[in-house]
């Protein structure tokens, strides 16, 4: 059976998105059909629409989603119809060289659905990050569905599927933040504020939020930053040093991803500290000029964080539980709920820095 549903499609580079009829096949072997309940608007969706990821238009946008499994294909025993799931874009294979060496969060051969979703004329859609979830029903690999407690609201749960997980994981998994650490986070959007929440959860005692937008700094404080620095008004490196006894922070997270912010992260770090790059640079940006001797002499580690080095099966249920216990205020990331027809307006609000996340609500099962 083919399911005829509505979804948000980016047809060509830079053009406004359109809501189109999307044809979704029944799940084949290893696949799952999911009735999407909520999907957050991430900067990466805008990158797809602008042609900043690749040229494989038309794209079916959306990838920060939660919903209910409606059907599964042959051989699927990890999820069943009726399960409430968060979708993930790193369904690990268990067999590649990273998985075999016990580091599956680096998996080099992650799974996606084998069948395509299409436009009504049969044109295959390229789903954003192998998901495509601004659509009433989506087809994914069953490993992309992580079952969690249905007690969490879908519009909150879905955010763990991308940006919020990336930020929390950059702090907890990649940065290895622990009790008593000092932490600085450059860029306090959805990802940076999630890193701040992660640092607070892990027990960091000094948490410094840095941004160029005063509104974002207010959010940073709400998520647990003990100090806020406006990088337009003061030197970020000097300010971090002044809040850390003159030394610099144990862990500095760059959630912007530009040479100037990475340079600040490098020098705002204490000796033997850690820099985590979680913001995604554009292809034109180069490593800033830093004497090699500084890299040697300062020691420590310079890391990147893909999807917060998360393992969805391990991390999503744990983070949902912490939220339900009142220890992780994920609801604060939801700035507004919208419909499929509001996508362009949501992109504009994101560009103006007015929202942490706009979340599309969809009908879900039925
Ligand atoms: N590594 C991953 O797996 C992963 C996953 C999701 C998103 N990301 C990336 O993380 C980055 C942040 O995403 P987001 O959703 O939080 O975006 P966002 O636009 O909400 O936040 C970016 C923030 O950086 C601030 N900023 C910009 N320039 C700055 C500067 N020079 N100094 C200080 N602050 C500055 C902005 O004011 C804004 O608050 C993006 O590059 C995104 O693509 C990475
Ligand atoms: Zn693998
Ligand atoms: Zn995303």
Can you tell me whether residue 193 is helix, strand or coil?
helix
Residue 238 has pLDDT above 70, yes or no: yes
- Pick the residue whose CA is nearest to atom 43 on ligand 1: 280
- Using the atom order of ligand 1, give the atom closest to the CA of residue 163: 6
pLDDT band at 261 (very low <50, low <70, confident <90, very high): very high
- The arithmetic mean of pLDDT across residues 14-23, rounded, is 97
User: What is the whole-number distance in angstroms between the Cα of residue 255 and the centre of ligand 3?
Assistant: 13
For 69-102, the pLDDT digits (tens) are: 999 999 999 999 999 999 999 999 999 999 999 9
Range in 129-143, 163-177, 277-291 the model is least confident about: 277-291
Residue recorded with tokens 């991390």: 315
Which amino acids bring their CB within 6 angstroms of ligand 1?
A: 43-44, 162-163, 166, 186-192, 210-213, 216, 231, 255-257, 260-261, 278-280, 305-307, 353
| Ligand nearest to C-alpha 98 | 2
The reported pTM is: 0.95
Residues 51 and 355 sit within 8 Å (Cβ to Cβ): no
User: What is the whole-number distance in angstroms between the Cα of residue 100 and the centre of ligand 2?
Assistant: 7
Residue recorded with tokens 């809040």: 243
Q: Which helix (H) or strand (E) holds 10?
A: strand 2-10
Residue 8 has pLDDT above 90, yes or no: yes
Tell me: cis bond preceding 58? Omega within 30 of 0 counts: yes
- Pick the residue whose CA is nearest to atom 8 on ligand 1: 279
Beta bridge partners, 38, equal 66, 361
Site to probe by mutation for ligand 1, drawn from 163, 275, 303, 332 as the one with most ligand atoms within 8 Å of Cβ, is 163
Question: With 0-12 CB in 10 A as exposed, 13-18 as middle and 19+ as buried, what is 176?
Answer: middle
Considering the chain, what is the average pLDDT of its residues?
A: 97
Length of the chain (residues): 366
- Pick the residue whose CA is nearest to atom 25 on ligand 1: 187
Residues 158 and 66 sit within 8 Å (Cβ to Cβ): yes
User: What is the whole-number distance in angstroms between the Cα of residue 56 and the centre of ligand 1?
Assistant: 24
- Pick the residue whose CA is nearest to atom 32 on ligand 1: 211
The percentage of residues in the chain with a pLDDT greater than 70, rounded to a whole number, is 99
For 142-174, the pLDDT digits (tens) are: 999 999 999 999 999 999 999 999 999 999 999
CB atoms closer than 10 angstroms to residue 151: 11
For 285-341, the pLDDT digits (tens) are: 999 999 999 999 999 999 999 999 999 999 999 999 999 999 999 999 999 999 999
- Using the atom order of ligand 1, give the atom closest to the CA of residue 47: 43
Site to probe by mutation for ligand 1, drawn from 189, 315, 352 as the one with most ligand atoms within 8 Å of Cβ, is 189
The pLDDT of residue 366: 58
- The arithmetic mean of pLDDT across residues 234-247, rounded, is 98
Residues 250 and 183 sit within 8 Å (Cβ to Cβ): yes
The pLDDT of residue 282: 84
């Amino acid at each position: 059976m083919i399911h005829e549903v509505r979804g948000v499609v980016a047809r060509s580079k830079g053009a406004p998105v359109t809501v189109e009829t999307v044809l979704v096949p029944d799940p084949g072997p290893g696949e799952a059909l999911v009735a999407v309940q909520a999907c957050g608007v991430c900067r990466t969706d805008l990158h797809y629409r602008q042609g900043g990821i690749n040229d494989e238009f038309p794209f079916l946008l959306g990838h920060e989603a939660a919903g209910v499994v409606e059907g599964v294909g042959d051989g699927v025993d990890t999820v069943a119809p009726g399960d409430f799931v968060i979708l993930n874009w790193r369904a690990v294979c268990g067999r590649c060289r990273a998985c075999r060496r016990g580091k599956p969060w680096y998996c080099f051969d992650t799974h996606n659905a084998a069948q395509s979703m299409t436009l009504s004329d049969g044109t295959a859609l390229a789903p954003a990050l192998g998901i495509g979830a601004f659509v009433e029903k989506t087809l994914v690999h069953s490993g992309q569905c992580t079952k969690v407690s249905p007690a969490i609201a879908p519009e909150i749960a879905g955010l763990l599927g991308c940006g919020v997980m990336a930020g929390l994981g950059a702090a907890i998994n990649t940065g290895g933040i622990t009790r008593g650490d000092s932490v600085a986070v450059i860029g306090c959007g959805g990802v940076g504020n999630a890193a701040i929440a992660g640092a607070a959860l892990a027990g960091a005692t000094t948490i410094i939020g840095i941004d160029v937008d005063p509104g974002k700094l207010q959010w940073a404080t709400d998520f647990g930053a003990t100090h806020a620095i406006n990088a337009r008004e003061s030197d970020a490196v000097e300010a971090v040093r002044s809040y850390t006894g003159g030394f610099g922070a144990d862990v500095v997270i760059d959630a912007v991803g530009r040479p100037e912010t990475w340079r600040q992260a490098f020098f705002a770090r204490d000796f033997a500290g850690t820099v985590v790059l979680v913001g995604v640079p554009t292809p034109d940006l180069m490593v800033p000029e830093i004497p090699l001797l500084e890299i040697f002499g300062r020691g420590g580690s310079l890391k990147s964080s893909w999807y917060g080095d998360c393992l969805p099966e391990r991390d999503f249920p744990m983070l949902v539980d912490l939220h339900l216990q009142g220890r992780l205020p994920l609801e604060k990331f939801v700035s507004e709920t919208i419909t499929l027809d509001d996508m362009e307006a949501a992109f504009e609000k994101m560009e103006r820095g007015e929202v942490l996340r706009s979340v599309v609500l969809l009908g879900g099962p039925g």
